[in-house]
Structure 1
Amino acid sequence: MPAPLLFGIRIPVGRTGRPQLSPSVHRDAAVAQARRLTALADILGLDYVFSGGDAGLSSETTLALLGAAKRLTVVAPISVAAWHPALLARFGAVAGRLSGGRFAIDLRSGPHPDDRRAEEFARIVRGLWAGDSVDVEGEHFRVRGLRPSVQPEVAPEIVVSGGWRAAASLAARTGDWFLHPGLDPQEVPARLAAFDGEAAATGRDVGFAVAAAVTFRPASGEAPTGIHGTPEEVAERLAEYGRSGVGLVVLDLADPEADLPVFAREVLPRVRELEHARALAAVH
């Protein structure tokens, strides 16, 4: 029986979707809002929260969100240009141990396909989380005999977001998830087949995730990007992702505080009904 489709939500830090760096009271209010949304997502049964923010706020925000949840995984945005991998590995190990393994990172790099920084970064972090002695002689990072000062009980997952051209190849080599932005369900099979081929060539099994903007109202005028319509229509479209081989859908909701309860009450149960019906049809 296929695994049920997992769901996450991207939580903005601040009204613009970006952290409010100044003055600090705006930042504190933004983080408090993100905590409320994380607690709500946790209660309503989502699996992941993707923390908004940049490298300057990710550690602070992530710890705040981890404290607001009891079961879901908090995914922190990590800029490999702003963090040193040894520092991130230590932070991730501590966050993972304190949260019982509910910490993950969303690895980000530059837009250039020849950028090796992210891969070197991931190799060092994975080695330290595994408790190994790490030796890397790269273009951007050089370490020899580096050992972890703290080791997580379970290595955090690494998500590689797909907003830059080399992301899919990097995810196939180093990630646990490849998060593709804004992909229509009909486009998934071809993209997934190509991605699975890359991952299989390196002997790895990597999950395929899709970010989806969701609006609970019909389109008016020019059709917006993403998924829109009644909760039942949205559920049908999301279930298509699962049938196409997607393992995780990360929701971008226009108004998370208002839309998240609608998703949990009216959309998620319908998705599960459709998954159950598909499983029964496969048996018969």
Structure 2
Amino acid sequence: MPDYRHDLLFGVFLSPAVADMQRTLENVRLAESAGLDLVGMQDHPYHPGFADTPTLLTQIALATRTLTVFPDVASLPLRGPVTLASWAATLAEISGGRVALGLGSGAHQGGIAALGGPSWTPGQQVQALDEAVRVVRGLLDGRPGHTVEGEFYRLRDAPPILGRRVEVPLWLGGYRPRTLNLIGCLADGWIPSSAYMGPGEMAAATPLVDEAATAAGRDPAAVRRLYNIDGVFTSGASGGFLHGPPKVWAEQLAELALDLGVSGFVLASGRPGDIELFAREVVPAVREEVDRGRST
């Protein structure tokens, strides 16, 4: 499997927990000062201890100058594609384009149902995600009169949001084959998490995305591969994936970049020491190793 030679992006995956909000904002400032690129944030509106993710991401984008923000990933059943497209387009306008739209078909069915959301089967989740992508694309492409006649979402002669084309990358989360097929056909990026899909599983899933892209007439390189990662920094020898000193982390992440085409790594940690160590030692070592690999 190829390295698609995308520019490498590094970021942090932070919590919208109300109790941690001050620390989260401090970690945002740390991430920017350390030279990271991205801030992702989980979206679980049914969680009683969580603040509203789009609101927090808007605050983060406006309080920073270099970070790109994205929901990691937005809950489609409770947010809806029109609302998400409008939010992303507006934030792109006022932040200078520093937003991506991460979108998922919706986990935690009990929580979704508790807020009056739909109870979809796995097949319906994929169909709804497909329709939602088409709705978002249509509203952002700047052309008038967009129509989607779907089972779950419909547009009829809809005007474009902001009245013109808005560039917002659409990154989809997903693990099942049908979702991977959809990602290859329609998405700008794929963003799984190492907690649910380890490197070996990602290696097995990556060809499904590539094959779907090719079958749809797309270059597989059109789908950026990002990876939510979590691990443990130690001073001893490696204890597995991302369990060891920064040098081991850098070697493992560079291997993913060169062998699987992963070009974005988002660290799931709210610990300032981890963020600082990741930015100071892991990120430059990964860049150096990938540059060396690409040159040979």
TM-score grouping bracket, smaller chain normalisation: 0.7 to 0.9
Hey, what's the Cα distance between the residues in 2 that align with 1:169 and 1:110? 17
Q: 1:96 to 1:107 in 2, by over 3 A?
A: same
| Structure 2: gaps of 5 or more residues | 46-50, 108-121
Structure 1: tracts of 5 or more residues without a match = 15-19, 21-25
User: 1:7–1:249: 8 Å Cα contact kept in structure 2?
Assistant: yes
| 58, 75, 78: which one aligns with 1:79 | 75
Amino acid at match of 1:124: V
**Alignment partner of 1:196 out of 210, 213, 219:** 210
Mapped to 1, the partners of 2:234 and 2:163 lie a distance apart of 46
After superposition, the C-alpha distances for 1:48-101 in whole angstroms (9 at most, x for unaligned) are 111233247122111111123211210023221112322222221110100111
Query: RMSD over aligned Cα, in angstroms?
Result: 2.5
Aligned residue among 118, 127, 130 for 1:119: 130
From 192, 197, 220, the counterpart of 1:180: 192
Match of 1:8 among 6, 11, 23: 11
Q: CA contact under 8 A between 1:162 and 1:181: conserved in structure 2?
A: no
Flag the 1:45–1:34 CA change in 2: closer, same or farther, 3 A. same
Q: Distance in 2 between matches of 1:39 and 1:167?
A: 35
Matches within 5 A, 1:145-160: 145-151=157-163, 154-160=166-172
TM-score, length of structure 2 as denominator length: 0.80
Question: Does 2:155 match 1:143?
Answer: yes
Q: Which residue identity is paired with 1:5?
A: L
Q: Whose RCO is larger (CA < 8 A, sep 6+)?
A: 2
Displacement of 1:186 in angstroms is: 5.0
Deviation at 1:231, TM superposition (A): 0.9
Aligned to 1:208: 225
Number of equivalences: 264
User: Contact 2:11–2:37 (CA<8 Å) still a contact in 1?
Assistant: yes
Residue 110 (structure 2) aligns with = none
Q: Is the 8 A contact 2:14 2:40 kept in 1?
A: yes
Q: Secondary structure at the match of 2:100?
A: strand
Partner in structure 1 of residue 234 of structure 2: 217
- Deviation per CA, 1:146-171, whole angstroms, max 9, x where unpaired? 11241576421111112556431221
Match in the other structure for 1:272: 287
CA displacement 1:211-264 (0-9 Å, x = unmatched): 2212102689xx67x4110111111111111111212122223x4311111111
Percent identity over the alignment is 29
Q: What is the deviation of 1:43?
A: 2.0
Find the aligned partners of 1:31 and 1:156 in 2 and give their Cα distance. 26
Amino acid at match of 1:232: K
